[in-house]
Amino acid sequence: MKSALIVIAAAAISTASLAAEYTKGEVKKIDLKQNKITIKHQELKNLDMPAMTMVFVVSDEALLGKAKEGQPIEFVAEKINGKLTVTEIK
């Protein structure tokens, strides 16, 4: 039974990862104190949001280390607890 739950959980995580849709953008500002990043981004299809420049919180402050102001990035944003949140950066 325990191994069946592990398999189901792994499948759910794998499916969630495949569903993540990266969006292209450019880092405009990084706020390390507030764990926020400002991104000029293309359309966020999963959030039904047009292209614009906006501020996001990050799910993990380590993500901010992957970005520099002026750098093009690809990222995943989701609405978590009512806040637009960057969950992945590559």
pLDDT recorded at residue 34: 96
Q: Give domain status of residue 16, yes or no.
A: no
Give a yes or no: residue 68 inside a domain: yes
Within a domain: residue 31? yes
Does 82 map to a domain? yes
Tell me, what's the pLDDT at 18?
Answer: 53
Residue 14 lies inside a defined structural domain of this protein: no
pLDDT of residue 20: 79
Which pLDDT belongs to residue 2? 52
Over the chain (90 residues), what is each successive 10-residue block's mean pLDDT? 48 53 97 97 96 98 95 97 96
- Asked whether residue 1 is assigned to any structural domain, the reply reads no
- Structural domains of the chain, count: 1
Report the CATH number at residue 49: 2.40.50.320
Q: Is residue 81 part of a domain?
A: yes
Distance of CA 63 to the CA centre of its chain: 9
Quote the domain boundaries for residue 64. 22-89
| Per-residue DSSP letter, 41 | E
